[in-house]
Chains A and B, each alone.
Chain A
Amino acid sequence: GQQLNQSPQSMFIQEGEDVSMNCTSSSIFNTWLWYKQDPGEGPVLLIALYKAGELTSNGRLTAQFGITRKDSFLNISASIPSDVGIYFCAGPLDKLIFGTGTRLQVFP
């Protein structure tokens, strides 16, 4: 079946640093979504991407739909303590499959 691999698995950064993470699929997707999950909560949608090459921002977050349609990237600029959590890529919309997650820890 389809698999989504995310890297890195975990990141430990200092407040103010920029963060980059990516996600690759074994098959072509027509949509990519990025979610954030805080402890004890369900995932919350951050950004949705619908077209190859699309670059979309949401505040300090920027995500890109890879031109091969098999990958996506998420960048967080100027990280703050509340960015701590697990970031998941997911797709496609008709039957959402989640990636393995990237755990982000931000130190003051």
Chain B
Amino acid sequence: EAGVAQSPRYKIIEKRQSVAFWCNPISGHATLYWYQQILGQGPKLLIQFQNNGVVDDSQLPKDRFSAERLKGVDSTLKIQPAKLEDSAVYLCASSPGQNYGYTFGSGTRLTVV
């Protein structure tokens, strides 16, 4: 089966600019996650969707980050405006349900200068 697709792979922006990341999960996977991985650290959960509804966004900095999964399939994560400390790899993962193992995409590496 095809894996989790993410784009772009790399993005460099200036601080205060906006950026959006896209994720296409494995077909049929109801649960989708966005993680932020800062260099040298483990991934940190930002938001979890079940179909097109938000299950957990308690770690999402909502003043600048937003995410949506309108039709319960693809998802986008947006940062507006970006700060230097947002430089990280943004990973998307999906699973068939909340009690199954996650499959991760290759991530989008964001550099804010």
Q: Given the complex, which residues of A lie within 8 Å of B22, measured CB to CB?
A: none
Within 8 Å of chain A (Cβ to Cβ): is B33? yes
Decide yes or no whether B98 CB sits under 8 A from chain A: yes
Known contacts A40-B106, A41-B106, A41-B107; decide if A93 and B100 are in contact (CB<8 Å): yes
B106 touches A96 (CB 8 A): no
Partner of A48, one of B93, B101, B109: B101
- The reply to whether B106 and A43 form a contact with Cβ atoms under 8 Å apart is no
Please tell me if the beta carbons of A101 and B42 are within 8 angstroms of each other in the complex: yes
For chain A, what secondary structure do more than half of its interface residues adopt (helix, strand, loop), or is it mixed? loop
A42–B41 alpha-carbon span in the complex (Å): 13
Name the distance in Å between A43's Cβ and chain B's nearest Cβ: 5
Chain B residues with a Cβ under 8 A of chain A: 4, 33, 41-45, 48, 56, 91, 93, 98-107, 109
Closest 4 CB pairs of A and B: A42-B104, A98-B42, A98-B43, A45-B101
